[in-house]
Amino acid sequence: MSATVIEVAELRKRYGAFTAVDGVSFDVRAGEVFALLGTNGAGKTTTIEILEGYLRPSEGTVRVFGHDPADRAALRSRTGLVLQESGLFGDLTAAETVTAWRRFTSGARPVAEALEMVGLTGQAGTRVKRMSGGERRKLDIALAILGRPALLFLDEPTTGLDAEARRRVRDMVGELAAQGMTVLLTTHYLEEAQELAARAAIMDKGRIVTQGTMAEVLGRGSGRVAFELPPGASPEGLPVGERDTLTVTGRRCVIVTADPESVAHDVLGWARVRGVRLSGLDVRQATLEEVFLDIAGAGRQEVRT
């Protein structure tokens, strides 16, 4: 197993009588993208700001590369931050911005390499105020990775961008991860987390409601296996687990299940044994968005009762 880069154990953060983070534990391993997700006000930004060393925990243990995050000197060169609000100067060009940042970044990449890594070579001479939102976000990321950090904090890197710019930033994060960078990502675009992250945690009201590999988190929701039986074939004996539900409408069968892959496998086995040919087989796992909406919905019901 890879080394642990971030360790969070029983973290709590109180603002007066209000507990914003209420006993959160997770870890992030070297070389993985970990998504910290949650409903509005769940405590993600508070958790990340503690990891970045900007806020102190009220209780619990937090370690980044084995250090207390407040020890900024030990961590500065190993971590890159992309905050929600960027602080770029409109009158500088992309290349001038990187050049300025290189002065106080030790072991900085050359300007051309930093711009190339984020796909901004063509915009080197463009002033920040003339750049698109997506280009500015890429420049933020270029600055964050300038000192070759091993860990990158990406706090909502694509918020406010259009679909195409989001796709470009997302591809770039995927490439950085493929090069071995550890990434802690927060985002409200769940398809982005589903695509990029190997593991995820979903927070609600200061607590982690579910966490694990993306497959484990998705397994919390219900996927489906749908197909049509040939005329005359009976659905009798279809392999439907105790927690699964089968709905038959004419020849069309839909099995709702947490584990659509194994159900599909069993259904194909069932058909083979009976010499039945299935048509229109459609196997779909729950999406992260569905799992998330389930969690958010359960939270609201709790409040109501």
Task: State which of residues 8, 11, 26, 44 lies at the interface with ligand ATP (CB under 6 A).
Answer: 44
Q: What element of type H or E holds 146?
A: none
CB 246 within 8 A of CB 254: yes
Task: State which of residues 38, 53, 147, 260 lies at the interface with ligand ATP (CB under 6 A).
Answer: 38
Token look-up 């409040």 returns: 303
45 binds ligand ATP (CB under 6 A): yes
46 binds ligand ATP (CB under 6 A): yes
158 binds ligand ATP (CB under 6 A): no
18 binds ligand ATP (CB under 6 A): yes
Alpha carbon separation from 153 to 36, 92, 126, 158, 234 (Å, rounded): 11, 25, 26, 13, 54
20 binds ligand ATP (CB under 6 A): yes
CA separation for the pair 130, 178 (Å, rounded): 31
Beta carbon of residue 183, minimum distance to ligand ATP (angstroms, whole number):
17
57 binds ligand ATP (CB under 6 A): no
292 binds ligand ATP (CB under 6 A): no
Task: State which of residues 3, 9, 15, 243 lies at the interface with ligand ATP (CB under 6 A).
Answer: 15
Which segment (41-49, 128-136, 165-173, 245-253) binds ligand ATP by CB under 6 A? 41-49
Q: Which is nearer to ligand ATP, 76 or 188 (CB)?
A: 188
CB 66 within 8 A of CB 9: no
Number of residues near ligand ATP (by CB under 6 A): 11
43 binds ligand ATP (CB under 6 A): yes
CA separation for the pair 21, 11 (Å, rounded): 7
Amino acid, single-letter form, for residue 193: A
Burial class (CB in 10 A: 0-12, 13-18, 19+), 163: exposed
Dihedral sign for Cα atoms in the order 105, 111, 113, 115: positive
Q: Which is nearer to ligand ATP, 43 or 147 (CB)?
A: 43
CB 55 within 8 A of CB 49: yes
Which segment (15-23, 110-118, 208-216, 289-297) binds ligand ATP by CB under 6 A? 15-23
Instruction: Write out the two tokens for 303.
Output: 């409040």
Which residues in this chain contact ligand ATP in the complex, by CB under 6 A?
15, 18, 20, 38, 40-46
